[in-house]
Amino acid sequence: MASQVAMGALMKCSFGAAPASLAVLPVNRVLAEGPPAANIMDHQPLVNILPFGVCQSPANPVVAAATAAALGVLTPMPCVPATAAPWTPGAATVLIANMPALDNTSKCLCNWGGVIAFTHAATTKTMIP
């Protein structure tokens, strides 16, 4: 059974070097074990999804430019998440602010090819069927 995701949940990116925590603004007015609960629309770069240290994706233009300048040696550069689409799939049976709740099995895709997933949901008792 999946867990509800709340502010402070830990995420990892497949091309990132460090974990990051999810920031959830209290606009939905729903709490999950204390902190604000997330829905699938909490995917805004640098608002909800913070940087993952350095990015190693060759599809990232900044990494590609640095790699070209280093004569083809992969050169990681600072991460700036680029998440245009919401988290998927979310919890279809639970709505927060008329959108599916965000559970710990959801993924978010970065425009540079990374897959962002949760390593810790920040809740332990709030389960989603």
Say if pTM beats, i.e. exceeds, 0.85.
yes
Does 34 reside within a domain?
yes
CATH number at residue 101: 2.60.200.60
Distance, CA of 106 to CA of 97 (rounded, Å) = 18
Does 119 reside within a domain?
yes
Does 14 reside within a domain?
yes
Does 70 reside within a domain?
no
- Number of structural domains the chain divides into: 1
Query: How confident is the model over 62-119, as pLDDT tens digits?
Result: 999 999 999 999 999 999 999 999 999 999 899 999 999 999 999 999 999 999 999 9
The number of beta carbons lying within 10 Å of the beta carbon of residue 35 is 17
Does 73 reside within a domain?
no
Does 99 reside within a domain?
yes
Task: Say what the pLDDT of residue 128 is.
Answer: 66
Structural domain containing residue 31 = 1-52+82-123
Task: Say what the pLDDT of residue 126 is.
Answer: 65
